[in-house]
Structure 1
Amino acid sequence: MKKRSTVIDVARMANVGPSTVSRFLRGVKVKPEIARRVAQAVETLRYEPDQTARALRVGRSRTIGVILPKVSNVFFSQSVQTIEEEARKRGCAVILLTHQDSLHQQAEHLATLRRYRVDGVLIAATARTTRQDIESAIHSVPVVAFDSFFSDEVDAVLLRNREAGRVATEHLLRHGYANVTCVTAKPEIYSFKERIAGYIEALAAHQLAPQLITAPDYEQLKFVLAAAIRSRNRPAAILSLSDFATLTIFTTFSELGMKPADAVPLIGFDDFGFASLIDPPLTVIRQPIESMVRYAMSLLFSRIDGEMDAARQTILLPGDLICRKSCGCV
């Protein structure tokens, strides 16, 4: 196995001192002729700096940890692309892990990120997470909560979830649907709890009782929803709280043999790729994913660089109601 090249090897080939090579690699200006020789030696030897050793010397690993529930979710899969772009702009790599809504798995991932000496952590925390959970696992490493909220002592970037739930529900009520039903699995998730609260507020303003269809997971949700659609008190309209819930709803409609004309009016969350192409095109609350990620990454790197005071920030961004035909709009 070929021995890995070192700074000393580069210095010998370029006929300069090791400190000159180090300055060049850090971006410090050196004479053009020296820069040319060092660059040529780096390329010839295929030299790559040892980032682990550098992290031990300067206390920075140039990596950030990202913990998400899963990446099959449209919101999080789209978020990852922007997270990587923002990290790359700052010369950092990303360690991406998923907790699958498991507190135990989340704790293991936090411990892993601590061992890798990440400079900061962006986390969409699972339900029942506490600030103490995070601090005990990651200690003084800067943390920003993304699409989740577990403490006002931790920076967070969120959708205005309650407002979004209220706006979507009010839109369905304006269409004249009295029995608007809210559908989701895992209602204990922070964003879902807030959307449900907004839904209930909108109904209360019209003296209407909430109708919730929930389940511990999406497979069970399908059976609960099918029973509700077959019942005498069938939903007049549905507010779906996530792309997974919306997929479950469409799967249920299909398994019940419902044609598009028979489908229950519907508003979903997240404007996934084919939302405008299905029949009827889906009305959604579109989340400002890129803006949310950029705010979160800016917060995180400001904490890493020590540019902010101790006061924690919670940044709330509005969603957009994108009206298509599934809600009854024409």
Structure 2
Amino acid sequence: MATMAEVAARAGVSTATVSRVLAGKPVRPDSAEAVRAAATELDYELDRTARSLRRRYSDLLALVVPDVENPFFTAVARGVEDTARRAGLSVVLCNSDDDPDKERRYLAIAASENMAGAIVAPAAGDLPVGGLARKGATVVVIDRSVEADVDQVGFDNVALGREATRLLIDRGCRRIACISGPSGMGTARDRELGWRAALAEAGLEVPPEYLRHANFRVDGGRRATEGLLGVTPWPEAVLATNNMVGIGALQALAASPGDEPRPEVAVIGDLPYATTDVSGLVQVPLRPRELGVRAAEMFLERLGGFTGAARRVVLDGTTTGAEPA
């Protein structure tokens, strides 16, 4: 049987548009006609699928993120919401605070309320999706990888860490410290690996005291940087492995006493606001809205009948690719 993605490709529209036609939502007449024609050619049963969606699920989608105050996740939420809304779904935003218990509670509520499913940036590697799976609900994981057999969308974090470090090396920096996230988090671990790889490729040492683990928040970046400024010699540069850590690092450096030259800073992600002079700052931008859009599209494809193997989509600075997980 044809899938929603195949109908969308044949009609020359997005899967969100196909989903709106399925749900009886208004779309441009020419787009609706193209979808119906493609469905007929591919023997895709629009009416039966639409009835099934209305019967089994509410029109709610849970989006569970670790920090709603981080503009990165605000942009992710915008991408999810814009895409889901066009398909007739409403998004319920849930803040887990990286707390597995809070995350578990939100997912249990999504299951008990017969939501269409959840898009989750998981707090840990063992995402508790059993309740949703038993109800046949859809789950897509974003930003952080898990072992569960579900669709996942994230970034090439090793490449990001390597690229940011290479930019510092190209500026002549040799003593480069890294503020990574929690040691058990895959995103943090991979960005740290990229930092190590770039230093090794340049023949540079990795002093153990130049690696600091912190939470992915401003206070974590600030405390980690303060610790680095107690190291002799000071690092010539600091890699902050996410945007909020970067803000904390800049705050700590701006407040640091002494005559030592201030280390250069590279940040993975876009700074949401500036706390000090950021001239010369190295930034490796991410595409959080695109992350949200792609996750929502994959969600809608599953909701529309796609039953293929779990997919893993990796976004980097130049390309987007997908392959079975």
How many pairs align? Answer: 267
Change in 2 beyond 3 A, CA 1:217/1:267: closer
Alignment of 1:244 onto 2:244: yes
Change in 2 beyond 3 A, CA 1:152/1:198: farther
**Normalising by the residue count of structure 1, what TM-score does the alignment of the two structures yield?**
0.73
Q: Distance in 2 between matches of 1:290 and 1:57?
A: 28
Matching residue of 2:82? 85
Q: Distance in 2 between matches of 1:239 and 1:279?
A: 14
Q: Distance in 2 between matches of 1:221 and 1:26?
A: 48
Equivalent pair of 2:238/2:264 in contact (CA under 8 Å): yes
Change in 2 beyond 3 A, CA 1:257/1:93: same
Equivalent pair of 2:125/2:145 in contact (CA under 8 Å): no
Q: CA offsets per residue over residues 205-230 of structure 1, 9 Å max, x none?
A: 23323331223575465344223213
Matching residue of 2:163? 167
Q: CA deviation at 1:179?
A: 1.0
Q: CA offsets per residue over residues 302-322 of structure 1, 9 Å max, x none?
A: 00111x2321111111137xx
Matching residue of 2:172? 176
Change in 2 beyond 3 A, CA 1:220/1:69: closer
What stretches of structure 1 of length at least 5 have no aligned partner? Answer: 1-24, 29-53, 321-330
Equivalent pair of 1:185/1:221 in contact (CA under 8 Å): no
Aligned partner (choices 128, 133, 146) of residue 125 of structure 2: 128
Change in 2 beyond 3 A, CA 1:266/1:57: closer
Aligned partner (choices 137, 142, 158) of residue 146 of structure 1: 142
Matching residue of 2:92? 95
What stretches of structure 2 of length at least 5 have no aligned partner? Answer: 1-22, 27-50, 319-325
Equivalent pair of 1:236/1:264 in contact (CA under 8 Å): yes
- Bigger Cα displacement from structure 2, 196-205 vs 207-216: 207-216
What's the Cα RMSD here?
2.8
Greater C-alpha Rg: 1
**Helix, strand or coil at the partner of 1:169:** helix
Change in 2 beyond 3 A, CA 1:240/1:108: same
Report 1 or 2 for greater relative contact order, CA contacts < 8 Å, sequence distance ≥ 6.
Answer: 2
- Bigger Cα displacement from structure 2, 147-156 vs 194-203: 147-156
Equivalent pair of 2:60/2:90 in contact (CA under 8 Å): yes
Aligned partner (choices 101, 105, 110) of residue 102 of structure 2: 105
Q: CA deviation at 1:103?
A: 0.9
Aligned partner (choices 60, 81, 86) of residue 63 of structure 1: 60
Equivalent pair of 1:145/1:157 in contact (CA under 8 Å): yes
Residue type at the aligned position of 1:179? R
Change in 2 beyond 3 A, CA 1:185/1:162: closer
Equivalent pair of 1:183/1:239 in contact (CA under 8 Å): yes
Equivalent pair of 1:127/1:190 in contact (CA under 8 Å): no
Equivalent pair of 1:110/1:138 in contact (CA under 8 Å): no
Change in 2 beyond 3 A, CA 1:215/1:276: closer
Equivalent pair of 2:216/2:245 in contact (CA under 8 Å): no
Change in 2 beyond 3 A, CA 1:106/1:288: same
Matching residue of 1:229? 229
Q: Distance in 1 between matches of 2:158 and 2:180?
A: 15
Alignment of 1:317 onto 2:312: no
Equivalent pair of 2:110/2:132 in contact (CA under 8 Å): no
Residue type at the aligned position of 1:115? S
Change in 2 beyond 3 A, CA 1:70/1:86: same
Q: CA offsets per residue over residues 105-132 of structure 1, 9 Å max, x none?
A: 11111001112211121000012324xx
Identity of aligned residues (%): 21
Q: CA offsets per residue over residues 270-296 of structure 1, 9 Å max, x none?
A: 223446994325321111222222211
Change in 2 beyond 3 A, CA 1:204/1:223: same
